[in-house]
Structure 1
């Protein structure tokens, strides 16, 4: 049986693309697992003195920051308490020599109407994390989640790798399944076409 050229070419290209995406997801899974292992290790390292707002490799490191928070209203963002309760975390910029050094997660409150006026001087101690683009704050600064909250707030949840998704192996299985399904469906279509021609030899 001669295979139809154009449909076979299209299916082969689609299958190759799906297999390629599956392999890429497996590579992403290996990368993500290495990243998670590195971040887990960072939590066990000795605390650092934060001196550079953009210093690389400090995600999830314990740190001390010598800076001051000028009196301002805190910025509220959705977050959780250290006990896992949903609510809001209070963020404020901390300055060193007049320049932003770090964003301070000053603590947690249950309601959105609890924005507080914060004014404090360091050193502040806690754990560093990178902010997400969705938080609407300076992504060039780390967020320092304080060990001890300020201004009568409750303690915010410490950053952890549990919040980092790693579904890449599942995505890889899906792409390989799609590739196998495409081959099966195309094979069934070819078989049906062959049967139709055999039943109608004059066509």
Structure 2
């Protein structure tokens, strides 16, 4: 019986240990953190309204907020699936412009006009407009926007920001890492069996 190849066995063992460690990290650390975070977000709609924050912090998602959209204001349409398009205003003033979702429309040629002013609503995620490949290669930090409670004239009301829009994939990630570790062990065992004298 041949001895196990030391270096390759050590490398496979280290790789398997790393994958198991990553799975445990997702399962025992990241998953409880995300569940606690989602519980906080679920309670946010009942909390008092705040001024729209000037920096991104996802702990404010789904919180009621007020703000003032300063001119100049530009409005663009962003795809919104079954709702058609979202009319999103970019407000002037400040290094990071405030974004306001004014309402939705099914008309791809709509040109909503808004001069800005006071607005109230709920804090949600702003679309980043990146493709899946672009997001994987050059991920952008998430931005927040104020989803107006009252739509601009001519637009349909905004749906309330949905807690389901915040992904919680950590259990799936943990299972994935454990499967990777198992597959690596099986492949290495097959490779050892193939090089065994009895397999010839």
Alignment TM class, shorter chain as reference = 0.7 to 0.9
Does 1:111 find its partner at 2:113? no
Q: What do you get for the CA RMSD once the two structures are aligned?
A: 2.8
Instruction: Name the TM-score, length of structure 2 as normaliser.
Output: 0.78
| CA shift digits 1:60-117 (9 cap, x unpaired) | 210122x24547551111125xxxx33111111346xx55773221110012210211
Moved >4 Å (runs of 4+): 98-101
Instruction: Name the TM-score, length of structure 1 as normaliser.
Output: 0.77
Does 1:128 find its partner at 2:130? no
* Higher relative strand content: 1
Q: How many residues align?
A: 186
1:1-203 residue pairs with structure 2 within 5 A?
A: 1=1, 2-26=3-27, 27-50=29-52, 52-54=53-55, 56=57, 57-65=59-67, 67-68=68-69, 70=71, 72-79=73-80, 85-94=82-91, 99=94, 102-122=98-118, 124-134=119-129, 142-194=144-196, 196=198
Structure 2: runs of 5 or more not aligned = 131-140
* Higher relative helix content: 2
Structure 1: runs of 5 or more not aligned = none
